[in-house]
Amino acid sequence: MKLTTLTSAVTSAIALSAAAAQAEGTLNIYNWGNYTNPEMIEKFEKQYDIEVNLDGYDSNETMLAKVKEGGSGYDIVVPGDYMVAIMIGEGLLAEINAAEMENFKNLDPNWVDVYWDPGRKYSVPYQWGTTSFTVDSEVYGGDINTLEIVFNPPEELKGRINMLNDMNDVINAGLRYLDYPRCNSNPEQMKELLELLLSAKDNWRTMDYAVIEKLTSKDVDLSQSWNGAAMRARADRPTLTYAYPKEGFTGWMDNVAVLADAPNMENARLFVNFMMDPENAAMTSNFARYANGVLGSEEFMDAEMLDAPEIVMPASAPVPDFVKPCDQQVVEMYNKVWTRLKQ
């Protein structure tokens, strides 16, 4: 470490400690719905004498649209990997230089030099996981590790399927099934994709983000799902099984970031540092049921988290596919496909 870097880090640590001692006021967090541990928030409020206000959103795009309006009043947002890259490019995130914070030493090195934020100048890990689907094994006893049952379902599952109401997740699943590349701008391949989705939609019951509710109510027997949501649903419906389709599936990481126009900037920085503490990261994992990027958090995590099939991928599973942001031409083509699908 260079002397200048060391000096900067020490200065930052002193400033952070001073801010912690004097912290007061509010912190406004805009996070995915049903994704924040209330006990973790209470701990932060008591530790720093800061009142936290929490609002929820259902997609990266919903959050981005709100933030781009300006003057949202939010301090903290929790964008997915590709969305961090987009927001940095649009100047929407504050450069917080997490590497200079006291708890940065706890981050898993695998999650530091990531494509969406190399060196973690703008964000830190919150939770990471996969997007696949979960199936009731009592309803369907065949091989679930294939996208075939989503796009060409067996009789047992027809009309009993929920897909995420998410353009990227649905389109990327279709492209994997067809063995076509992501961020696809090939007109013929995209035409084939649309035909596939329209045909499959006839066998889908709903397209909804409320994965846990859809599964636990038995409104559906298969749902496209995030792995943590699948684990939470299985707690109420033990016959649910999470799939690792041979055609591939999405890997993702949600990240704690501070808005460039945050009204409570220092309180936001305190929260970022707070979330890199192993015990606090574990509190989030125990609630949301996803892994995090903080070393030592396993010591504080629920025992079932350490070997859950939704969290610990089998050796036979493909490597998760982290999809980078697509260029504008592709996004426009995706929007046309999505609009047609949702009609």
Q: Tell me the pTM.
A: 0.90
pLDDT at 205: 98
Please check the confidence at residue 56 and state whether its pLDDT lies above 60: yes
Share of the chain above pLDDT 70, in %: 93
According to DSSP H, which parts of the chain are helical? 3-22, 38-48, 60-68, 81-89, 148-151, 167-177, 187-201, 211-216, 227-236, 265-275, 278-288, 328-342
Q: With 50 as the cut, is the pLDDT of residue 48 above it?
A: yes
Q: Does domain 3-128+252-306 have CATH number 3.40.190.10?
A: yes
Name the band, by pLDDT with cuts 50, 70 and 90, for residue 108: very high
Q: How far apart are CA 173 and CA 176, in angstroms?
A: 5
pLDDT tens digits, residue range 277-332? Answer: 999 999 999 999 999 999 999 999 999 999 999 999 999 999 999 999 999 999 99
pLDDT at 4 over 90: no
pLDDT at 24: 76
Q: Which residue has the tokens 């805009």?
A: 30
pLDDT of 11 > 90? The answer is no
Average pLDDT taken over every residue of the chain: 93
Q: How many CB atoms lie within 10 A of CB 177?
A: 21
Helices 60-68 and 81-89, axial angle in degrees (round to 10)? 20
pLDDT, mean of residues 218-232: 98
pLDDT of residue 171: 98
Residue 94 CB contacts under 8 Å (≥ 6 apart), including other chains: 122, 257, 258, 259, 260, 262, 265, 268
Q: Give the confidence band of 246 by pLDDT, cuts at 50, 70, 90.
A: very high
Per-residue pLDDT averaged across 99-121, rounded? 98
CATH architecture assigned to 129-251+314-342? 3-Layer(aba) Sandwich (3.40)
pLDDT at 15 over 60: no
The domains of the chain are located at 3-128+252-306, 129-251+314-342
- Cα-trace Rg, the chain: 21
Per residue in 139-153, pLDDT (tens digit) is 999 999 999 999 999
Token code pair at residue 290? 């996803």
Q: Are 311 and 54 in contact (CB under 8 A)?
A: no
Query: What's the pLDDT band for 23 if we cut at 50, 70, 90?
Result: low
